Amino acid sequence: MTVKKRQTYYEINAGKCMGQFNLKNAKTTSVSTSIAAFTAVLLVSLFFGGAKAQQLPHSDPYRNSIAIASEANVDEDVLSRHVVALGAADLTNIADIWQRRVQTNLSKIAEGLTQLETAVDHQAPELVNQIKTINRQNIGDFQNYLITVNALERKGGSKEELEKHQGFIRGFVTELLLSYQWSVIAQLSKDWVLSGRGGFRALSGVFQAIMVLTVAFLLGGVLKRISSRRLHRRRNENEIAAVVIPNVIRWSILVLGFFVALWGLDVNLGITTAIFGGLGFLVVFMLQNFFQSVIGGLLLQATNPYSKGDTVSINHTIGTVVDVNVISTKLRTFDNRLVQIPNQSIWQGSMENLTKYRVRRVDLVFGIGYTDDIERAKATLAEMVGADKRCLRSPETRIFVGELGPSSVNVYCRPWVRTDDYWDVMWDLTEIGKTRLQNEGISIAFPQMDVHVHTKKSASSEVWPS
């Protein structure tokens, strides 16, 4: 279009606008009458529309979903909600409807482009605007067409129908590229980017998702460090809590940020939650032993039976705790072996903390003979305990006869010591007690058996006949 024709075109449009403005000023009465008539028509339409809306709840909801999903210009979010309830047969018909709408739009665009090639200069702007309007409409229709076809595939639509629609979608893009109409492609891409359903919306959603995930990642890391530092400072005895709680806080924030990011991308959270729920059930079923150990770790954290550095007996294995986490506990035995025990077996089995408290009682048993002096043996053991400074005066040491065994009289000696001295005191007093009792002439009994043999002599000798 030449510059002169453009000026003429804008002057004609300006003249029309000024003429319409003067006409409105000259005919105020007729305009008022038109406004009154329009108001009356609007009220009547609202009345019948309200009556129709009141009848909708009494109609079949399934039929309403079919009607809404087939309605032109339906919002894609509304369409996504209603196709969930529809079956494959109804989705097949609705997909055909949207396909015909897309085909109609493409035919109108092709016809407009053909007319544009032969149009005169003053007709070109109007044709271009018409093509843009149809293209914007086609963007929405094509998006709804994709939603319907995807729903048909999820609902198990027939293979022939799916191939038909998917072939049409691929063919649309392929033919557009092979036609070498790069100006048209550029215009369509520009309209998609600038449309409310197009690029700006998608890019803004992606940007928001990236920002949300970044903030969630940073916030989770900061809260993990803060909670870990405070737990180590205030609860030094609970190593499991210092490991579990910070990680739970961090991953909770990350999961929350992930779902917020999906919501920003207009992803259907109901379907996404259902998918993750199904996958989660499958993963838990496959890794049930692992999750049982994790649950056992959480229960151990709640009860806090031991912490790092304690000497414990777990399922008859004695050692010092060197590492505690949500999955397992690692022990270093007295012979310098590393034993890893799953938390599941710890929670379900037996566990004894040997160093939980500051003092412990040493249980010693000395078996003496039945003919030995009991009071003398008890006095000897009392002198032995009194001479060892590692034995505490309070609680008081108890020495008593605890059992009359098959081969010995068992004298119990029970001094109290600091937990750190337990094993040394037990080993030392066992040796010292045996030596002192023997020095006092008291025997250390051991299991023995006396065998008595009785012989029987004949009362009279046998006489053989001569």
Confidence at 350, pLDDT banded by 50, 70, 90: confident
Q: What is the mean pLDDT of the chain?
A: 75
Q: What is the pLDDT of residues 250-304, one digit of tens each?
A: 888 888 888 788 777 766 666 566 666 666 666 666 666 777 777 777 777 767 7
What is the arrangement of strands in the sheet containing 317-324, beginning at the earlier edge strand? 338-342, 328-332, 317-324, 311-314, 351-353
Q: Full-prediction pTM beyond 0.85?
A: no
* Residues above pLDDT 90, as percent of the chain: 19
What is the arrangement of strands in the sheet containing 364-368, beginning at the earlier edge strand? 364-368, 409-414, 398-404
Pairwise CA distance, residues 266 & 206, whole Å: 10
Confidence at 378, pLDDT banded by 50, 70, 90: very high
Quick one: fold of 359-439? Alpha-Beta Plaits (3.30.70)
Q: What is the pLDDT of residues 413-439, one digit of tens each?
A: 999 999 989 989 999 999 999 999 999
pLDDT of 239 reads 60
Confidence at 154, pLDDT banded by 50, 70, 90: confident
Beta carbons within 10 angstroms of residue 360's beta carbon: 19
Confidence at 190, pLDDT banded by 50, 70, 90: low
Confidence at 465, pLDDT banded by 50, 70, 90: low
Asked whether the predicted pLDDT for residue 27 surpasses 50, the reply is no
Q: In terms of pLDDT, which residue wins out, 155 or 22?
A: 155
Which CATH number is 305-353's, of 3.40.50.2000, 3.40.50.1220, 2.30.30.60, 3.30.70.2520? 2.30.30.60
Q: What is the pLDDT of residues 200-238, one digit of tens each?
A: 666 677 788 888 888 888 988 888 888 877 776 665 555
DSSP state of 316: T
Q: In terms of pLDDT, which residue wins out, 61 or 51?
A: 61
| Span between the terminal Cα atoms of the chain, in Å | 168
Average pLDDT over residues 341-347: 83
